[in-house]
Amino acid sequence: MSTEELRQEQQFVSLVHERLDQLRAEAEGAVSAAVGQNGTGRQARFERDIAVVEHSATLAALDAADTGLCFGRIDHRDGVTYHIGRIGIRRDDAERTPLLIDWRAPVARPFYLATGYEPMGLRRRRHITTEGRTVTALHDEIMDLSDTTRTGYESHDADEVLLAALNSARTGRMGDIVATIQAEQDRIIRAPQRGVLVVEGGPGTGKTAVALHRAAYLLYAHREQLAKRAVLIVGPNPAFLGYIGEVLPSLGETGVLLATVGELFPGVHATGTDSPAAAAVKGRAEMAQVLAEAVRDRQQVPGKDDPIVIPHDDGELVLDWGMAVEARHKARETGLPHNLALPAFAFRIIDDLTTQLADRIGADPYGGPNFLGPDDIAQLGKAVAASPDVHAAVLSLWPPLTPQEFLGDYLAEPAHLDATDAALIRRTEGAPWTPADVPLLDEAAELLGHDDSAERAAAEAERERRIAYAQGVLDVSYASRTYEFEDKEEVDSEASEVLAAHDVIDAERFADRHEEADHRSAAERAAADRTWAFGHIIVDEAQELSEMAWRLLMRRCPTRSMTLVGDPAQTGDPAGCASWKEILEPYVQDRWELARLGVNYRTPAEIMDYATGQRRATDPAFAPPRSIRSTGVRPWERTLPLADVARLAREEAPPEGRLAVIAPRELHAGLTGLGDDGPLDLSRPVVLLDPREAKGLEFDTVLVVDPDRMSANDLYVALTRATQRLGVITPA
Ligand SMILES: Nc1ncnc2c1ncn2[C@@H]1O[C@H](COP(=O)(O)OP(=O)(O)OP(=O)(O)O)[C@@H](O)[C@H]1O
């Protein structure tokens, strides 16, 4: 074994870290210097802003890259060598020579794709393992089999580094996989941004990992566009989002909003829960039509024999059935949402009432033409329009509505549904909103429209002034851009560089940030804006979403640039969709691509065999993904009183790592001693979950309690969460 090889790699890794430190010190110095600048003139402020924005973004990326900075190296047959890392870094020489290549740059691709059959010009691929800044191991794969040069670090097992990653103890937080992305995963991560890409695969095939790395890749390859519009990642529940929440920051990417569908209506906290049956009704596509009808129900007319009599200075005004029907027809004809069509309704009524008044006041008792001239009639019209009584009458027929008011009223007495469905979704006044209400609120917001023209006009002038200023700042920033750690130019003209101010920020966003009160990123602004159009949306556990949830998401992504990952065999929610075709056809017809992942990286073969056996009891043709490893440890079954589960969990808990007890929700009260009732904290050594909560997560050891109570899909999810050991407990 060549210690010389190890020494050389250590030398290189130390050099890269030194350069990282140097860049970080420069960025830190630049930020403090800029913040400390206290010039008051426009030019001084200008320069300070440029520096703060630019160097803060750089610093964040550099800080994130510290762990596992350099993890690989590729040697081409022609002698060219590249080191691959979490970010691209250049040397401090006159040519700014590339030192470390960003894993996302095209030149890094052979690191992930090359094989003995297709070496892609490589002689050797090397995995470099580090602890802190120390190189602890090298693993070499010789791609050119005719090459006799050996280093002493050739792996007997090409998957050694991958297996070490998969066998490591879990932490309760998902980690990145940049060092070991597999070829089938790489193709998905780097697939073109346009259109809808569906990624299907069984449990543990890396769908979530791939989706997150794809987000990082897209932000790198299309930074200018995506920094403006932000990327949205939708997950099934907050605990899952917490579980995956550190992956993108660890890759230096923060321009991403992670949310559940229930969090996508700004101002609403959906803390309530629905029964699965109620959520299923609320999630059906027909609810869109039902709500549209319910909005029309709110556009009323007086009874034929029961006109509205409005007191007025010049005598009573009568708003009758015919007048209201005609006005309603005109207002609906505009095709505008309810609130925005209100002026059309009101103008028509005011016109008719004015005519009524003019006919009465100016009538010639001898049958001649009306005494009133156009000016008189205009005066009368103004008085009618200004009358609070007229206003009240108009609004009683066509009330302006907020989505919350409207949906609250609707759910109190659900119409246009059969009695059973209506009873399922009926809501008592003041009850908290549920996640399944959010797509309905969003639908309602579309049907109702929000008349914000006055607010917008007032804000616009000020905003334009700020954007003009910000554009100036960014222009200067662009002109003075730093090439410090790009891997673009000589290496690859296609790849875009790592963060610089003009990339991560646009003039609009900068202008908003510049406001004392608003330092939000695009992702934060997107979170606060219901009508935000994201640059790309990634949906994890996509099979769980209801038809109404899809309507909401499609509205947030008019370009239909989306990655949907999921596994229909794990669908737990009765509101979930059965097939991708069914989900996507209404929005993109058949213009979507399907990619499949077939290797299970999480669940050892012994556990997967057990889960498959259970599954085949109801579905004999079931085909599971192939496990990449086996542990030799078979799952066990035991009958045990519920009261003893906590003790067993403590015994089985791995010294390092995590254990989960997965049991139907109704058993949780009987499973005492498994932790507090507070919010789910996945960093605890032992946690108690129901199968829905366990979706997407993984643990070293899993105890599944009372499998007979679980649906086939829920049981399959529960059984496939373990990376090492599985026990199945039937309550005594
Ligand atoms: N290339 C890889 N290198 C290292 N670890 C990997 C790789 N691919 C996947 N993994 C690991 O395998 C585990 C399962 O991945 P992930 O959670 O993304 O699977 P999934 O398909 O989303 O599963 P499920 O549908 O069950 O939620 C994770 O710990 C992930 O980090």
Tell me: is residue 206 an annotated ligand-binding position.
yes
CA distance 670 to 232: 39
Tell me which of 103, 237, 602, 626 to substitute to probe ligand 1's pocket, judged by most ligand atoms within 8 Å of the beta carbon: 602
Distance (Å, whole) CA 358 – CA 80: 92
- Mean pLDDT value across the chain: 85
Name residue 480's amino acid. Answer: S
Residue among 243, 250, 601, 682 to mutate when testing ligand 1 (max atoms within 8 A of CB): 601
The reported pLDDT for the residue numbered 709 is 94
For position 115, what pLDDT does the model report? 85
- Does the structure show a pLDDT above 90 at 469? no
More confident site: 553 or 376: 553
What is the value of ipTM here, to two decimals?
0.99
Q: Answer for the pair 700, 166: CB distance below 8 angstroms, yes or no.
A: no
CA distance 246 to 306: 64
Give mean pLDDT, residues 113-121: 88
What six digits make up the tokens of 473? 């700042």
Asked whether residue 456 carries a pLDDT value surpassing 60, the answer given is: no
Given a cut of 50, whether residue 53 has pLDDT beyond it is yes
Q: Which residue has the higher pLDDT, 151 or 624?
A: 624
Q: Give per-residue pLDDT as tens, 678-698.
A: 777 888 889 999 998 898 999
Query: Given pLDDT bands bounded at 50, 70 and 90, which one contains residue 345?
Result: very high
CA distances from 67 to 13, 24, 87, 131 (A): 12, 14, 11, 8
Structure tokens at 604: 């050892």
How far apart, in whole angstroms, are the C-alpha atoms of residue 390 and residue 384?
A: 7
- The one-letter amino acid at 145: L
Q: How confident is the model at residue 501 (pLDDT cuts 50, 70, 90)?
A: very low
Query: What separation in Å is there between the alpha carbon of 599 and the centre of ligand 1?
Result: 10
Of residues 457 and 334, more confidently modeled:
334
pLDDT band of residue 165 (cuts 50, 70, 90) is confident
CB atoms within 10 A of CB 525: 17
Q: How far apart are CA 562 and CA 229, in angstroms?
A: 13
Q: Which residue has the higher pLDDT, 144 or 110?
A: 110
Q: Is 127 exposed, middle or buried (0-12, 13-18, 19+ CB in 10 A)?
A: buried
* Phi, psi of 675, deg, nearest 5: 120, 170
pTM: 0.83
Residue 346 has pLDDT above 50, yes or no: yes
pLDDT digit string (tens) for 601-631?
999 999 999 999 998 988 888 888 999 889 9
Q: What is the CA(141)–ligand 1 centre distance, in A?
A: 23
| 618 marked ligand binding residue | no
Give DSSP secondary structure letters for 99-161.
Answer: EEEETTSGGGHHHHH--SS--TTEEEEEEEEEETTEEEEEEEEE--TT-----S-B-SSTTHH
Is the C-beta atom of 698 inside 6 A of ligand 1?
Answer: yes
Q: Is 695 annotated as a binding residue?
A: no
Rounded-to-integer distance, Cα 177 and Cα 204, Å: 13
- Nearest C-alpha neighbor of 569 from the set 715, 444, 372, 447: 715
Q: Cα–Cα distance between 264 and 621 in angstroms, integer?
A: 39
**pLDDT given for residue 173 in this prediction:** 83
Q: Is the beta carbon of 140 within 6 A of some atom in ligand 1?
A: no
- Residue 260: CB atoms within 10 Å: 18
Unique residue bearing structure tokens 């001898």: 366
pLDDT digits (tens, 9 = 90+) for 527-544: 888 888 999 999 999 988
Regarding the beta carbon of 164 and ligand 1, being less than 6 Å apart is answered no
Is the pLDDT reported for residue 375 higher than 50? yes
Please tell me if the CB atom of residue 606 comes closer than 6 angstroms to any atom of ligand 1: no
CA 24-27-29 angle, to 5 degrees, is: 105
Residue 162 Cβ inside 6 Å of ligand 1? The answer reads yes
- Greatest mean pLDDT range, 219-228, 360-369, 522-531, 693-702: 693-702
Q: Which residue has the higher pLDDT, 676 or 162?
A: 162
Region 415-424: mean pLDDT is 96
Q: Report how far ligand 1's centroid is from the alpha carbon of 601 (Å).
A: 6
CA 568 vs CA 103, 343, 552, 715: distances in Å: 31, 47, 21, 14
